[in-house]
Structure 1
């Protein structure tokens, strides 16, 4: 991986560093929000879920405006400004004793993280030729998963000493990247090419809604993300209903380990082979692997069977994530790349919806029905991907 990084300009490597460092800050703290909120603010589990879920949804919706800013401003001030917001949000969550202020800080953190993510993805399209972008998107996703692999363990160690320490370290990581970007950030990298007549935010929204390819792809992404966005949450719900607590712990920890190891070892190797000419085929292959993984989960009895199903599911994840980014980059006008990536970022709404849908299914129907319902989301999402891909072919 280090050999590959040396091939890219420093601006690309710094944007890749942002993915690792800021995601590490996120991964250190987010797994312990439930415990922190319930212990510091005496909230019920339902109230904690509502608080965290609403903050994630609000951050995703606000990121649409962040995409608009990405197309109007240079990356350098945007990344610095929102990294400052990232740091301020964690400091705010650490010091406040007011739940409303904590919620606002949590929304600010999610908004800042989303805007930096969109800005980086849009900048890759300006810094690199199209044939290099699949490698960079795969490398970036590998770094993100490396951060998620180690972050919770660091957070657990710190939380055992003091529940506020994960927030302190997350803020420190953000501050460290802020200093790094001030020194080495690319001040010359321009914003998107300007429109002859500047669009307002509302006008840009109408442009996006009129692009049927983007609408199909965004809806397909939201429906598909119901399945892969928060898989650990709904699998935990399923296991709680069908198994004893000790088995829930052993299966989930095994699945998370298989997923993290699979992504870290295979993401770059598989991702660099995804070519822009056959993106729809790659997406369909990824969704088929997701379906195979769901089928494996529904039939798994042994820990080995669970792990094998997770490996199939992970291969689907490895393919779908970079292919989604490449599809958006291919259809986005140069002047609206940030807004297009922001629209694609709305797939996070599907991730938030997954545990809710699965909880309702588990409450009403036999537990295995959950996997059939999830398969239905994938099939409809895949049909929308196909429709968007076919519209893209006719537009070329």
Structure 2
């Protein structure tokens, strides 16, 4: 009887706040639509629209650059205006972008839509993360971010398969984009309902006295030396991650879309299988140590993409790359929750998006290298990208040294 009771307890769903569960489920649906379309965009622009790799890289980089610029603003607005108003507005506008992709013809239209895609995504996501922290107790935050990342990667496994079946990347791309837009609009309706049922969640962060100005909040964030080390190091990590659906999609997708789709699915399935054991194992180490190890695996996986052309070895490279992804992004979100003061979490999560300037630069650099060196220079191209990734190491080491000497916000609050 005791064993049966223990088994039932292990199988029971985590006890998260209803708002947290809604965000996690909505994340799965939204990412299914996202991965059904965006990973194939580079292939679509090259094979259907006839654009060269450098132009494609510029278009994809525009999305990440616009997202980098908007992330801090979105997080700050959510601290001042409330989580739900910012999320609802961003998701509504984001849904319209996917309809635009289906009908765009000229390169300038794709540049504009790509910029809007990055802008609305990076307003929505840090706000959603901050709301998760708001409604989740400290001891459950790591678990809720694991669940969110799990949902992202289930969507990452399902989305490319659906996209391939629906013709994403080819001449029949209207349907995948339309379905994605419909999913996002349905998510908007859920958010509206949640905002009415949970008025206490996602409200404007009320601080004593006058609201903190944008300049003052930026000064607070960027004088946090531990956070600044994380931010700079994470820019190089984001550069590595960005190559999965930009440089690699062009490198493999120009003559083998199915291989790229298979590897993308391997990435998502690997996250599902490895996330829990890896994060559990790394709990005995500091967050910065886990980020450093993640950076190492990111770089090695990248190099494998250019070094190998056999499918099993490419799949192994994806698994190595995925280990880096899990350690860097799941634990990175937890780390921000640890170091951010309660009244400025949205701002910290928003500011963390500035690291994705590395992803923007990576997309641009990857396209430039492919255009300049050619598709037969994989080891050189991805070897250079690996070395750029490893530039994160000194910043993570410095952040770890600082963090061992400085109290974290929650310890300061308890001391007060």
TM-score by length of 2: 0.81
CA change 1:73–1:276 in 2 (3 A) is farther
Instruction: Find the counterpart in structure 2 of residue 373 from structure 1.
Output: 384
Decide which of 174, 177, 180 is 1:164's aligned counterpart. Answer: 174
Tell me, in whole angstroms, the C-alpha distance in 2 between the residues paired with 1:164 and 1:334: 43
* CA deviation profile, 1:310-368 (whole Å, cap 9, x unmatched): 32222222112111111111111222211211221223222232244345566469753
CA change 1:308–1:332 in 2 (3 A) is same
TM-fit CA distance, 1:263: 0.6
Instruction: Find the counterpart in structure 1 of residue 5 from structure 2.
Output: none
Instruction: Find the counterpart in structure 1 of residue 405 from structure 2.
Output: 394
Q: Is 1:179–2:192 an aligned residue pair?
A: no
CA change 1:35–1:291 in 2 (3 A) is closer
Contact 1:262/1:314 (<8 A) preserved = yes
TM-fit CA distance, 1:4: 5.7
Instruction: Find the counterpart in structure 1 of residue 131 from structure 2.
Output: 123
Tell me, in whole angstroms, the C-alpha distance in 1 between the residues paired with 2:184 and 2:302: 37
Decide which of 93, 110, 118 is 2:118's aligned counterpart. Answer: 110
Q: Is 1:132–2:143 an aligned residue pair?
A: no
Decide which of 181, 203, 209 is 1:196's aligned counterpart. Answer: 209
* CA deviation profile, 1:78-129 (whole Å, cap 9, x unmatched): 2222222122333444456676566444433322222221111111222122
Tell me, in whole angstroms, the C-alpha distance in 1 between the residues paired with 2:265 and 2:37: 19
* CA deviation profile, 1:279-302 (whole Å, cap 9, x unmatched): 122223323333443565566464
Instruction: Find the counterpart in structure 2 of residue 218 from structure 1.
Output: 231
Tell me, in whole angstroms, the C-alpha distance in 1 between the residues paired with 2:260 and 2:175: 26
Tell me, in whole angstroms, the C-alpha distance in 2 between the residues paired with 1:84 and 1:192: 23
Instruction: Find the counterpart in structure 2 of residue 337 from structure 1.
Output: 345
CA change 1:389–1:88 in 2 (3 A) is same
* CA deviation profile, 1:16-59 (whole Å, cap 9, x unmatched): 12321222222222134346556887755543432332133113
Tell me, in whole angstroms, the C-alpha distance in 1 between the residues paired with 2:181 and 2:248: 31
Decide which of 45, 56, 69 is 2:64's aligned counterpart. Answer: 56
Decide which of 91, 108, 116 is 1:83's aligned counterpart. Answer: 91
- Equivalent residue pairs, number: 390
Tell me, in whole angstroms, the C-alpha distance in 1 between the residues paired with 2:341 and 2:81: 16
SS in 1 for 2:165: helix
Pick which of 114-123 and 17-26 moved more.
17-26
TM-score by length of 1: 0.85
Contact 2:61/2:361 (<8 A) preserved = no
**Structure 1 gap ranges (5+):** none
Tell me, in whole angstroms, the C-alpha distance in 2 between the residues paired with 1:277 and 1:349: 28
CA change 1:5–1:181 in 2 (3 A) is farther
Contact 1:135/1:268 (<8 A) preserved = no
Tell me, in whole angstroms, the C-alpha distance in 1 between the residues paired with 2:78 and 2:355: 19
**Equivalences for 1:312-323 in 2 at 5 Å?**
312-323=320-331
